[in-house]
Amino acid sequence: MTPRDQLAAFPRRLADIGVRVEARESPGLAPAQLILVKPGDWSRLGIEARSWGCRWVASWGEEVDQAGGTVIRVNTCFEHGGAYLVARTAVPRAAPVLASHTTSYPGADRPERHIRDMLGVVYSDHPDARRWTRHQAWTQAECPLRRDFPAAGSPPARTAADYQYNFLLAQGGGVYEIPVGPVHAGIIEPGHFRFQAVGETVLKLEERLGYTHKGIEKIAEGRDAEGLARLAARVSGDSTVAHAWAACMAMEQAAGLDVPSRAVWLRALMCERERVANHVGDNGAMLNDIAFAFGFYQFARLREMWQRVSREAFGHRFMMDCIVPGGVATDLDPRFIATMRDEAHALGQQIGKLMAIINDLPSVADRVRGTGVLKPEHARALGCVGYVGRASGMDFDVRRDAPYPPYDKLTFAVPLHHYGDVNARARMRLEEITTSLDLIEALLNGLPAGPIRAAWMHPAADTEGLGLVEGWRGEILSFVRFGANGRIARFFPRDPSWTTWPALELLIHDNIVPDFPVCNKSVNGSYSGHDL
């Protein structure tokens, strides 16, 4: 039995062991299958999913009206062998109590705390009762994602500092604490890191995120399709193409809309260009963090040149707002096909020359080999995806394993490493650049003729859709449910950073404090993508 067949048989297995489960049709959630589970069986669902080798992908909630009253509906997505399953349950709004999946899947920890903070769901056996998204902006009685909470809230003149957050401590002779952030010396987004160390050796790291909470989920409500696409493009600015694509894919699934082939190929071209730009920039930034300025400047130069071509071809350096419901906003002028083909060839050659210099420097190798090791078992437990997961042996890529157009018509290599150190993550980036350059050439050569956008059709109320895209950080999931008049009732985007931020806390153990910057950059979680 293939992994896909196993996941298809999973609901029957649940029923055989007494779990009350009901399969439901929801075309908009394709390729995922939908099952309804009773709240009392939610814990058993997590235990059985783990025993079947399923990866925990995401969890989100929403307030909805059902027969008998208003409920908080909770959804959890699992993946196995490229097949997806969405499990759904509902608890009364007045007493929203549910079992936690964190005991089975450590990666569910922070997402469940986010649901608790935003919707008031109490996870009865969750191991961590501390606030996560809330900080001190709202009282314990306020749930910002409930319908009666205004989008602007009722902010005080000055929000109290979150000084009561109880960081976990390491104790013993010689142990000291290093607080870093949330405001940093560099021009980066805010996040707090609390180190426990002895000498230069890190014993423990705990993160505190949420400082860039923007209310994405709340302000999505009531938008039209184009407005949601613009919002999704701003979930994480460095992943604007991938997030916009995932959101548009979800809306198009809900509407049953067929996107023109040329538009789909142009979306993929933009997404691969986004992947290359970020990997090139991050490889330079990693070299900067080990004080190799020459490499940093050269990779920064290459990224700048690459993004200038994106601006000339698509009108924006990051290709923001180029993906719209039904297709793309702008076509590719034929004169840029040769330009991009030559540019990809030249970039590959220049990176090869740079790496010949870099690989010949023992001082570089000393800083990255064996540094920041993410063990495969930890990557698996957290559900790590993208280059972080694949550097630690997690062999999964949405483009290959759950292919969507046009990747279902393309053949490409997905690199994989097993050492899990900074060096492996850097090599993953370099090899992914090579794969993307090959894909860009194939996309340019095979770009079909035809229209670039289909007319948008408003889906019926309560229609839902799911989008799954391989962004440059890894798998992005977007869920959309429409309300009346084609307006958005619920939008949930899951950035890969939800799984990789916890990985950073584990891989820094027993490393020295000065190696934290390069470890952090090798993971490069998105603050904004996490802090919805």
Q: Does the pLDDT of residue 525 top 80, yes or no?
A: yes
The alpha carbon of 517 is separated from its chain's Cα centroid by a whole number of angstroms, namely: 21
Read off the pTM: 0.95
Average pLDDT over residues 399-415: 95
Spans of all domains in the chain? 3-123, 216-324+333-530
Flag whether pLDDT at 193 surpasses 70: yes
pLDDT computed for residue 186 by the predictor: 75
Separation in Å, CA 233 to CA 241, 242, 317, 333: 7, 8, 13, 23
What residue has token string 């995806």? Answer: 385
Q: Evaluate whether 65 touches 147 at the Cβ level (below 8 Å).
A: no
Q: Do domains 3-123 and 216-324+333-530 have the same CATH topology?
A: no
Residue 357 confidence class, pLDDT cut points 50, 70, 90: very high
Cα first-last separation, the chain: 39
Looking at the predicted structure, is the pLDDT value of residue 416 above 80? yes
Contact 388, 523 (CB under 8 A): yes
Q: What is the dihedral of CA 261, 34, 470, 404, to 10 degrees?
A: -20
* Out of 27-31, 149-153, 303-307, 355-359, least confident range: 149-153
In the predicted structure, residue 3 carries a pLDDT above the cut 70: no
| Residue 172 pLDDT | 84
Question: Counting Cβ atoms within 10 Å, is residue 149 exposed (0-12), middle (13-18) or buried (19+)?
Answer: middle
Average pLDDT, the chain: 93
Residues 306 and 280 sit within 8 Å (Cβ to Cβ): yes
pLDDT (0 to 100) of residue 449: 96
Is a pLDDT exceeding 80 seen at residue 238? Answer: yes
The pair of structure tokens assigned to 459 is: 């889906």
Three-state DSSP class for 488?
strand
Q: What percent of the chain lies above the pLDDT cut of 90?
A: 80
pLDDT tens digits, residue range 37-86?
Answer: 999 999 999 999 999 899 999 999 999 988 888 999 999 999 999 999 99
Alpha helices in 177-234 (DSSP H): 216-219, 225-232
Say which CATH superfamily domain 3-123 falls into. Answer: NADH:ubiquinone oxidoreductase Nqo5 subunit (3.30.460.80)
Instruction: Give strand pairing partners of 324.
Output: 327
Burial of 58 (0-12, 13-18, 19+ CB in 10 A): buried
Higher pLDDT, 90 or 157: 90
pLDDT of residue 14: 84
pLDDT tens string 309-322: 999 999 999 999 99
**pLDDT value of position 30:** 86
Quick one: fold of 216-324+333-530?
Cytochrome-c3 Hydrogenase; chain B (1.10.645)
pLDDT at 25: 82
Phi, psi torsion values for 332, nearest 5 degrees: -95, 120
Q: Using omega within 30 degrees of 0 as the cis cutoff, is the peptide bond preceding 111 cis?
A: no
pLDDT of 425 > 80? The answer is yes
Mean pLDDT computed over 457-480: 96
d(CA 232, CA 412): 28
Tens of pLDDT, residue by residue over 260-305, are 999 999 999 999 999 999 999 999 999 999 999 999 999 999 999 9
CB atoms within 10 A of CB 428: 22
**pLDDT over 70, % of the chain:** 99
What's the pLDDT at 198? Answer: 94
Cross-strand bridge partners of residue 208: 192
Determine the pLDDT at residue 236: 95
The pLDDT value given to residue 10: 83
Span of 35-39, 70-74, 134-138, 403-407 with lowest mean pLDDT:
134-138
When pLDDT is cut at 50, 70 and 90, the band that residue 1 belongs to is low
* Structure confidence at residue 136 as a pLDDT band (50, 70, 90): confident
- State how far Cα 268 lies from the chain centre: 18
Q: What is the mean pLDDT of residues 112-135?
A: 92
**383 or 134, higher pLDDT:** 383
